[in-house]
Amino acid sequence: MKISNFLFPESRSPADDYRIVDETFEEALLTDRLGYDTIWLAEHHFDGICAYVDPVAFAAALARTTFQARIGFAVAQMALHHPIRMAEQMALIDNLSKGRLIVGLGRGTAYNIYDYQGFGIDHTEAQARFEEAETIMLEAWKGGPFAHRGKYFDLKLPGLRPAPYTKPHPYVIRAAATEHGMLDIARRGRPFMMNVQTNAETARRMELYRAALREAGLDDAAVAQCVEECWVWRNVCVAETDAEAERIAVPAFHAMQEFRAAMRHRVYEEQGVSIVPMPAPGTAAPARTVVEHSLVYGSPATVAEKLAELAKTGVGGLIMQFRLGTMSYEDTARSLTLFKEQVAPAL
């Protein structure tokens, strides 16, 4: 499996922002030096759950300071981006990185309504805006005069410059948080990124994905290629011993989940609005918030053993978040290094 580092650093207060952004940049450089396949970037606004906020600007900085790792978005919230501006930015970063860019796209957050409010976007339009924006970007990258008249965008331009470094365009992949979304991507014959699920659910969805690819007419070789290009997300902490990893990771993981939900609850209390219904008391927690399913921690041997279950699904890559919540940069760097040196060879 391909291994990668998902840079998703929280900042608890505005006073911490610069330090966290600076440390995240150093984490990216270390990831590149260690030889990880990909550095993934997130996009969230206004709440500190992703300190650098803007993956496009951050990717541009990494494009000229890293030399091996691919640079991907997991994901850019396309409902918040103008597609021509985004197409230009992606073409430029693709050139700056000499083709190392992965344009990971999604409609936008399914949880934080204030991301949409801050940009003046109706969250119910997010999927439709995403579909139209992706179509525009793919057409614009072809070069030459371009015009588009759609529901959300009315555009006319003589041509997009610079042209992408990668031909015919930068590598594009979609995220799918739901089974329905995953199957839609499969019917298009494309790979996808899966959010945190239980191991059993991950395996089940990968089988459904293979079946949907075959139903779409792909042969065995094409199915295998698509599966090889899919990614799944887990939170990971490696330490010298199981006990040390538990001491570092578990409290940080719980703090991270609480922090990510805090602004959502605050907005709901103030405005009475939410994208998804607020969970009723006693509702089972989603897998992404449960240590057993979302967090892989332990000694190198323990982590390798746990991740072997994911390897059985055949999925091509692991999106791993190493810095969890309040975890220090030093603990993160040790975990990142131990994984590359002692866990990766076992995978």
pLDDT in the model for residue 212: 98
Q: What is the pLDDT of residues 13-52, one digit of tens each?
A: 999 999 999 999 999 999 999 999 999 999 999 999 999 9
pLDDT in the model for residue 277: 87
Pair type for strands 154-157 and 171-176: unpaired
pLDDT in the model for residue 24: 98
Q: What is the pLDDT of residues 213-235, one digit of tens each?
A: 999 999 999 999 999 999 999 99
- Please, which pLDDT band fits residue 124 given cuts at 50, 70 and 90? very high
pLDDT in the model for residue 56: 98
CA distance 76 to 44: 9
Q: What is the pLDDT of residues 260-302, one digit of tens each?
A: 999 999 999 999 999 988 887 778 889 999 999 999 999 999 9
pLDDT at 150 over 90: yes
CA distance 87 to 135: 11
Q: Region 130-152: what's the mean pLDDT?
A: 97
- Please, which pLDDT band fits residue 92 given cuts at 50, 70 and 90? very high
pLDDT in the model for residue 347: 86
Q: Do 21 and 323 meet the contact criterion of CB atoms below 8 Å apart?
A: no
pLDDT in the model for residue 266: 96
Q: What is the mean pLDDT of the chain?
A: 97
Please state the pTM of the whole predicted model.
0.97
Q: Region 299-317: what's the mean pLDDT?
A: 96
Residue position matching structure tokens 């000694």 = 299
Produce one character per residue of 27-45: b if its CB has 16 or more CB atoms within 10 Å, e if not. Answer: bbbbbbebebbbbbbbbbb
pLDDT at 148 over 90: yes
Instruction: For the chain, count helices (H), then strands (E).
Output: 12, 12
pLDDT in the model for residue 284: 86
Query: Which domains are seen in the chain, by residue range?
Result: 2-346 (3.20.20.30)
CA distance 220 to 321: 32
Residue position matching structure tokens 């399913």 = 293
Q: Do 51 and 24 meet the contact criterion of CB atoms below 8 Å apart?
A: yes
Q: What is the pLDDT of residues 63-78, one digit of tens each?
A: 999 999 999 999 999 9
pLDDT in the model for residue 192: 98
Taking the CB of residue 345, how many other CB atoms lie within 10 A of it? 9
Amino acid occupying residue 209: Y
Percent of the chain topping pLDDT 70: 100
Q: Do 100 and 70 meet the contact criterion of CB atoms below 8 Å apart?
A: yes
